């Protein structure tokens, strides 16, 4: 049985990174996944829906996923969660310098995510899936009742995450996709870090990077 989870996808910033706001319409409690860029726009969407932010989460600490973290965490006062293996990159501007860019300093997470330990943010709950390969501490957020996974830069519609950036590893990425993401039910909606929403079933069937 699916349970409603209201999801807003906001492609933001220089590489159109998808920030997601996932809210429980019954309680108006919300979680922000990857506060990518443009805090005023993001905070405007929260205000417009009268949603209360209960957590700000990172799938991974690349600069394009955390550009608005400082402002959004300060404005919402919500706990900020990331995987501990992402801390070196988070403290290093998310690797923005490699791209000749600058992002505001990212705050230290006050919540270190542990795979297997669910995120409970008010009435919104996610399982934390460990899916390294694009980065060493990449996680995905899975809402079993709503049948949706927020997969960051691991699996895209007809694509996979790049592994040529520091800490990337192709074999590890493929293992994460095949053993963790593709193990989810085929009807699961995939909300990726870039590009269009897809499903586990259609990627299992049509993704050219996953052809056997």
Residues near Zn ion (CB under 5 A): 62, 64, 153, 193
165 secondary structure, DSSP code: S
Minimum CB–partner distance for residue 154 and Zn ion (Å) = 9
Q: How far is CA 160 from CA 35, 50, 57, 188, 203, in A?
A: 21, 35, 21, 17, 10
The smaller minimum CB distance to Zn ion, of residues 28 and 38, is found at 38
Cβ-proximal residue to Zn ion, closest one: 62
Taking the complex as a whole, the smallest distance from the CB of residue 177 to Zn ion amounts, in Å, to 15
Residue whose CB is less far from Zn ion, 64 or 86 = 64
CB nearer to Zn ion: pick between 6 and 16: 16
- Residue found by looking up tokens 């309680």 in the block: 27
Nearest distance, CB of residue 25 and Zn ion, angstroms? 28
Overall size of the chain counted in residues? 212
**Is the CB of 88 or the CB of 186 nearer to Zn ion?**
88
Question: Is the backbone of residue 16 left (phi > 0), alpha (psi -120 to 50) or beta?
Answer: left
CB of 155 to Zn ion, least distance (A): 12
Task: Tell me how far, at minimum, the Cβ of 17 lies from Zn ion, in Å.
Answer: 5
117 class by beta-carbon count within 10 Å (0-12 exposed, 13-18 middle, 19+ buried):
exposed
* Residue 147 or 207 with smaller CB distance to Zn ion: 207
Strands 6-12 vs 111-112: parallel, antiparallel or unpaired: unpaired
Reference 83, options 22, 167, 146; nearest CA is: 167
145: left (phi over 0), alpha (psi -120 to 50) or beta: alpha
């Amino acid at each position: 049985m699916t349970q409603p989870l209201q999801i807003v996808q906001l492609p933001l910033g220089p590489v159109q990174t998808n920030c997601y706001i996932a809210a429980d319409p019954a309680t108006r409690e919300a979680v922000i996944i990857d506060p990518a860029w443009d805090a005023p726009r993001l905070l405007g969407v929260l205000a417009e829906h009268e949603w209360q932010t209960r957590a700000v989460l990172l799938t991974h600490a690349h600069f394009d996923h955390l550009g608005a973290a400082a402002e959004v965490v300060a404005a919402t006062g919500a706990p900020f969660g990331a995987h501990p293996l992402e801390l070196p990159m988070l403290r290093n501007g998310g690797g923005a310098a490699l791209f000749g860019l600058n992002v505001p300093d990212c705050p230290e997470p006050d919540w270190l995510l542990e795979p297997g330990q669910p995120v409970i943010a008010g009435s919104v709950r996610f399982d934390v899936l460990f899916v390294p390969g694009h980065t060493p501490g990449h996680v995905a957020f899975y809402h079993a009742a709503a049948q949706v996974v927020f997969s960051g830069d691991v699996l895209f519609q007809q694509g996979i995450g790049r592994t040529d950036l520091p800490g990337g590893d192709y074999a590890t990425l493929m293992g994460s996709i095949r053993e963790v993401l593709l193990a989810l039910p085929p009807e699961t909606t995939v909300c990726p870090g870039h590009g269009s929403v897809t499903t586990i079933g259609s990627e299992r069937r049509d993704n050219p990077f996953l052809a056997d």
